[in-house]
Amino acid sequence: MPEHPAVLTSKPEWQALNERRDKLRSITMRELFTQDPDRASRYFIEGAGLALDFSKNLLTDETLTELMTLAHSCRLEERRDELLSGARVNVTENRPALHTALRHPGNESILVDGVDVVAEVQQTLNRMEAFVDGVLDTSRTGFSGKAFTDVVSIGIGGSYLGPKLVGESLQPFWQGSIRCHYVANIDGTDICETLRQVNPETTLFLIQSKSFRTQETLENSKVARQWFLDNGGDEASIARHFMAVTANVPAAEDFGIDADNVFPMWDWVGGRYSLWSAIGLPVALTIGMENFRALLAGAHAMDRHFGEAPLERNLPVVMGLLSVWYNNFWDAETHAILPYDHYLRSLPDHLQQLDMESNGKSVTESGQPLDYQTGPVLWGGVGSNGQHAYHQLIHQGTRLIPADFIIPLKTHNPVATHHADLFANCLSQSRAMMAGKTLAEARAELATEGLDEKAVEALAPHKVIPGNKPSNTLIMEKVAPETVGALIALYEHRTFVQGVIWDVDSFDQWGVELGKQLGKGILPKLLSQDAISTAGDSSTDQLIRKFRSANGL
């Protein structure tokens, strides 16, 4: 136990939920569905073009009321209003977290240090529009006068995952003329394989880095720049082919990017919340500005829903509180994100950074050590592929793994009965998680198959599925700019709701800094010709020697 435990677990509201969990252990979801024929319609809420069926959860009306009471006691509504109005909710960096301003329609002001950030956002969107239109209508060309055909977006973390997800998700909306490539990894394979696919005359490079200090992005950008110069480009044409999105304009200029070619970022946007800013340029170049604005409108609709809907009908609030419920009261260590839509296949990757970088914290906002769990491990993948891999563990493993199933009602690709097949697969999984299969059912099934009594008894225990495993099902009409915007914004706010209950700063990420600091110390030891000086432990030193000897250093 920490010396000064945080107050959350001693709240009466917390204790009430502990007791509720104990009572719920004696009843199954199967029984809850049988007792209440209206359960599905009562636990169904809608907002911003999305709908959530949360009836397949370990939940009763009392549980829901108690979760809401906990939220009130943690001042969730006040904290939400602070977030949306631009208060300095990122306390350790003394900044607002105003990603919602990036998708604001521009009809009101939000002031940060006396500056209207909504107006700045609108100006930047107009600049983006002029740039995107110029590339797409080919009035803006490469150095040889040819139209651009490829964009290479160089960035990592939030400067990569969000645009990649949205770009893939909105493939049916691609305008057709621009192919987009993403380079993130410091593994040279990433940039080298990408450069093999493009032509310097027709390729635009976007250097995406809020800080313009991130090693991976700077090193990959240097390689791209040199490749461009070695393959027909010259210094004078760098300005036509290299753009940057950053809050650090001097560093971009030092790199050789013309100030006119820099799109701004702001301190009040966190990296993992930045896809709505000019960091979304690769997306805008592939789907066009009208669709990009529709994406922003979808996210804004979710912001309004989050800000206005009563807590018990509020999608991010209900999903955030359910996550707390399983994480802290049912010892769930992980949470599965299972999009049943091929276009949304990178959603788990984006949500991993969003949720785990935000809520992977061990002290309260005021720096007190915690005596409860914070962010669970998020993982997952696209259905139905996962059914032939990790779903076995979800159904019959010993751990409780709550899951979010995400599926559109309509497909962009109607072929044979595929979409109905996909939908049936999704429903079969959430039903199997909830209902499972009892020993009696397993025995009866095997007997019907003609097995003798001995064989039935031997096999039946292996066929038991415990069930009572919780899941949410999120549906939308179709994957489209508005629904994808709303979906990502939903998870952003869900992340914030959890952070409020856990009393952590969801907008800083000091933990990632240590690796960066240590990396700077180890690199010279790998490259140096001198006798090795210690990196601090014999394991690291041994691996450094192996690397040096393999590479002739």
Q: Is 150 helix (H, G, I), strand (E, B) or coil?
A: strand
Among 60, 73, 211, 237, binds ligand F6P (CB under 6 A): 211
Q: Is 516 a catalytic residue?
A: yes
| Closest residue to ligand F6P: CB criterion | 271
d(CA 33, CA 29): 6
Among 104, 164, 181, 210, binds ligand F6P (CB under 6 A): 210
As measured in angstroms, the least distance from the Cβ of 220 to ligand F6P is: 11
Is residue 277 within the footprint of ligand F6P (CB under 6 A)? no
Identify which of residues 80 and 272 has a Cβ nearer to ligand F6P in the complex.
Answer: 272
As measured in angstroms, the least distance from the Cβ of 210 to ligand F6P is: 4
Angle between helices 538-550 and 511-527 (to 10 degrees): 50
Q: Is 357 a catalytic residue?
A: yes
Phi-psi region of 265 (alpha: psi -120 to 50; beta: other; left: phi over 0): beta
> If we measure between CA atoms, which residue out of 208, 222, 203, 150 comes closest to residue 179?
150
String of contacts with ligand F6P for each residue 436-465, x by CB under 6 A? ------------------------------
As measured in angstroms, the least distance from the Cβ of 509 to ligand F6P is: 5
DSSP assigned state of 325: I
d(CA 498, CA 318): 10
d(CA 109, CA 79): 20
Q: Is 388 a catalytic residue?
A: yes
Residues 490-529 that bind ligand F6P (CB under 6 A): 509, 512
String of contacts with ligand F6P for each residue 139-168, x by CB under 6 A? -----------------xxxx---------
Among 20, 99, 104, 272, binds ligand F6P (CB under 6 A): 272
DSSP assigned state of 326: I
User: Out of 357, 365, 482, 492, which one is annotated catalytic?
Assistant: 357
Identify which of residues 274 and 411 has a Cβ nearer to ligand F6P in the complex.
Answer: 274
Q: 124 is written with which tokens?
A: 């930047």
Is residue 214 within the footprint of ligand F6P (CB under 6 A)? yes
User: Out of 4, 418, 516, 546, which one is annotated catalytic?
Assistant: 516
Locate tokens 């059912």: which residue?
Answer: 441
β-partners of residue 183 are: 154
Is residue 209 within the footprint of ligand F6P (CB under 6 A)? yes
d(CA 326, CA 317): 14
Identify which of residues 124 and 471 has a Cβ nearer to ligand F6P in the complex.
Answer: 124
User: Out of 108, 388, 454, 462, which one is annotated catalytic?
Assistant: 388
d(CA 238, CA 467): 60
* The 44-47 sheet, strands edge to edge: 44-47, 50-53, 471-476, 403-408, 334-339, 377-380
Give the rounded distance of the alpha carbon of 505 from its chain centre. Answer: 17
d(CA 26, CA 539): 50
Contact segment (CB under 6 A) with ligand F6P among 60-68, 210-218, 408-416, 500-508 equals 210-218
Supply angle C-alpha 48, 270, 81, rounded to 5: 50
Residues 336-365 that bind ligand F6P (CB under 6 A): 357
Is residue 483 within the footprint of ligand F6P (CB under 6 A)? no
Number of residues that bind ligand F6P (CB under 6 A): 14
As measured in angstroms, the least distance from the Cβ of 171 to ligand F6P is: 24
Contact segment (CB under 6 A) with ligand F6P among 115-123, 169-177, 208-216, 444-452 equals 208-216
As measured in angstroms, the least distance from the Cβ of 355 to ligand F6P is: 13
Q: Euclidean distance between the first and final Cα of the chain, in Å?
A: 48
Please state, as a whole number, how many other Cβ atoms lie within 10 Å of the Cβ of residue 477: 13
Residues belonging to the active site: 357, 388, 516
Task: Return residues touching ligand F6P (CB under 6 A).
Answer: 156-159, 209-211, 214, 217, 271-272, 357, 509, 512
